Amino acid sequence: MASIKTKFNVGIFVILGIIIATVAIMWLGISHYFEKGKLYAAYFDESVQGLNKDSPVKYRGVAIGRVDSIRVAPDATLIEVVMKIETDLKHGSNLVAQLKSVGITGIMFVELDHKRDDEPDYSPEINFPSKYLVIATKPSDIKLYMEGFSKILREINSLDLNTSLEKWDDAMEAVSKAGNSFNGLSQNADKTITNLQLHLLSTLQNFERASANLNKAIEQISDQPSQLIFSEPPPSKKIDE
What confidence tens digit (pLDDT) does each residue in 91-146 have? 556 899 999 988 777 899 999 998 888 888 888 999 999 999 999 999 998 888 88
Report the 3 state secondary structure along the chain: CHHHHHHHHHHHHHHHHHHHHHHHHHHHHHHHHHCCCEEEEEEECCCCCCCCCCCEEEECCEEEEEEEEEEECCCCCCEEEEEEECCCCCCCCCEEEEEEECCCCCCEEEEEEECCCCCCCCCCCCCCCCCCEEEEECCCHHHHHHHHHHHHHHHHHCCCHHHHHHHHHHHHHHHHHHHHHHHHHHHHHHHHHHHHHHHHHHHHHHHHHHHHHHHHHHHHHHHCHHHHCCCCCCCCCCCCC
What confidence tens digit (pLDDT) does each residue in 159-197 have? 655 566 666 677 677 666 666 655 655 665 566 666 666
What confidence tens digit (pLDDT) does each residue in 64-94 have? 999 999 999 999 999 999 999 988 776 556 8
What local confidence, expressed as pLDDT, does residue 59 receive? 92
Contacts for 39 with CB less than 8 Å, ≥ 6 apart: 68, 82, 83, 84, 85, 132, 133
Give the pLDDT band (50/70/90) at residue 63: very high
Contacts for 34 with CB less than 8 Å, ≥ 6 apart: none
CA distance 195 to 158: 57
Q: Would you say residue 14 has pLDDT above 80?
A: no
What local confidence, expressed as pLDDT, does residue 131 receive? 92
What local confidence, expressed as pLDDT, does residue 206 receive? 72
Q: Would you say residue 155 has pLDDT above 70?
A: yes
pTM, two decimal places = 0.52
